[in-house]
């Protein structure tokens, strides 16, 4: 069985996921854009029995922004971390994966809220490393 690893930026927290995931969910709602500081939250939905913390299980701070909306971050580096408030699933922030997923985006949510800057200009530039 495939085991994938993930961690926060400072390495205080690390996790493993067993088995394959069928793709990424992206939420473009205004809350997810603010919370991520980006174009939304990119999430893997992983059944609880296939997710485990390897390090720093309690090294996190959770912000309850609304009754139905919380975010969890590493206490040291502030990386958005997998959320565990659901009884069945863990919502893993895709950017914390250390290894390839082998899948792309499967579902976009709240597309009507998508930021108008969330697209490439026709002359957008692409660099494999930093712009030179």
**Tokens linked to 112:** 């009507």
Residue by residue, what is the 3-state secondary structure of 5-37? EEECCCCCCEEEEECCCCCEEEECCHHHHHHHC
CB of 50 to Zn ion, least distance (A): 23
The rounded distance, in Å, linking the Cα atoms of 88 and 95 is: 22
Please identify, using beta-carbon distances, which residue of 14 and 101 lies nearer to Zn ion.
Answer: 14
Question: Across-strand partners of 125?
Answer: none
Number of residues that bind Zn ion (CB under 5 A): 9
What single DSSP character describes residue 124?
A: -
Binding segment toward Zn ion, per CB under 5 A, in 22-30, 42-50, 80-88, 123-131: 22-30
Scanning residues 35 to 94, which ones bind Zn ion (CB under 5 A)?
74, 76-77
The verdict on 14 binding Zn ion (CB under 5 A) reads no
The contact set with Zn ion (CB under 5 A) reads 8, 10, 12, 27, 29, 32, 74, 76-77
């Amino acid at each position: 069985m495939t085991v994938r690893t993930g961690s926060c930026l400072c390495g205080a927290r690390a996790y493993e996921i067993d088995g394959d995931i069928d793709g990424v969910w992206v939420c473009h709602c205004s809350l997810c854009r603010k919370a991520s500081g980006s174009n939304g939250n990119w999430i893997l939905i992983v059944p609880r029995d296939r997710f485990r913390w390897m390090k720093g299980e309690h090294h996190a701070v959770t912000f309850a922004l609304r009754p139905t909306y919380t975010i969890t971050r590493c206490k040291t580096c502030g990386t958005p971390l997998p959320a565990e408030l659901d009884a069945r699933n863990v919502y893993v922030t895709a950017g914390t994966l250390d290894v390839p997923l082998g899948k792309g985006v499967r579902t976009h949510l709240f597309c009507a809220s998508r930021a108008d800057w969330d697209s490439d200009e026709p002359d957008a530039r692409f660099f494999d490393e930093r712009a030179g």
